[in-house]
A and B are shown apart, each in its own frame.
Chain A
């Protein structure tokens, strides 16, 4: 899993003030989640790998540093798939984005809320999109 270094303008682009999707998509249905962490990249990566193993998810690394995670069973709307990308603000601050790419949204949200979020507690500073 590789980490994308952010320049200052890229950092700024993460602001929710620029995220106009809030106008269109009801929050409950959003299939994107983001959290910040004050751990090192390697700590974050190994934690994500542990979580994937515990939740029985297949992990595939794409060329551009994005990691794809996939459920092993067919759900209501196909197999659950989501991408994870790690962005470095500094060596000890990272923004991690998770974006669902296929499968049923409700199933994904369930996995996120019940499986992924609790398991990541140790490395998460804050989830964004939460008010």
Chain B
């Protein structure tokens, strides 16, 4: 274990290091406290391996410093990552709000990983269904109302430049809503939603990102430099 040195005295050039190595070296040798997240802890309970969480950290750092350089993902940065422009979008706002589990207006790294884990192919269907339900419960009343469904359909049509008649919109919304609202109380509750999703699995198509299973393939440079090997992790 090296003693700590004031950062200025670290002889080795940092040009040859990738960002994680540079941070790790600084952490080992400097007297300042460089806070790397607890990758092992964050990976626990998710389908991600520790290596994959490290890969996500590099992505997170890029996203969280794209507009406001504070290592936290703000709504505009989230938007930029998905849309490459700053036009507002109802659905991005909902996804952002769900990722922001603490509700403090920013997405922190552990929130980022835990929310993404729901989109992993190996995440349980119930988790995906639960997330989607909260997404679509626009006013967070615990129910999806007919007008919320209509609002979302209109938002999608607007986003896609699809110009269908309001009669057609009514028909689509009503047909779907009536199918889901089996209790007939003008709102879809969790139970009705779970049943609906079971009968219409395609509804959750957006809740799975297949390549989350191959993250280290998508970012190959991260595999080689991992500080922590899986073998070390066996507790």
Binding site for B on A (CB under 8 A): 4, 7-25, 27, 36, 38, 89-90, 92-93, 95, 125-126, 128, 131
Contacts and interface: CB of A to CB of B under 8 A. Distances in A.
B164 interface: yes
Nearest to A87: B202
Which size bracket describes the interface of B in this complex? 35 or more
Interface string B182-213: 00000000000000100010111110010100
B59 to A, nearest CB: 7
| Overall SS of chain B's interface | helix
Contacts, number: 115
A8 B172 contact: yes
Given A9-B136, A18-B206, A131-B84, 13 more contacts: A8-B175, A9-B200, A10-B202, A12-B136, A12-B155, A13-B206, A14-B156, A17-B82, A17-B93, A20-B116, A21-B209, A38-B163, A126-B161
B167 to A, nearest CB: 10
Contacts of B149: 8-9
The 5 closest A-B pairs by CB, nearest first: A17-B91, A8-B176, A17-B92, A18-B206, A22-B82
Contact of A125 (B85, B95, B161, B173): B161
A89 B161 contact: no
A7 B203 contact: yes
Interface centre among A9, A17, A27 (most CB of B within 10 A): A9
B68 interface: no
Interface of B: 59, 63, 81-85, 89-95, 116, 119, 135-136, 149, 152-153, 155-157, 159-164, 168, 172-173, 175-177, 179-180, 196, 200, 202-206, 209, 211, 218
Contacts of B175: 7-8
A21 B204 CA distance: 15
10 contacts: A7-B175, A8-B149, A15-B159, A16-B83, A17-B89, A17-B94, A22-B82, A24-B209, A95-B160, A125-B162
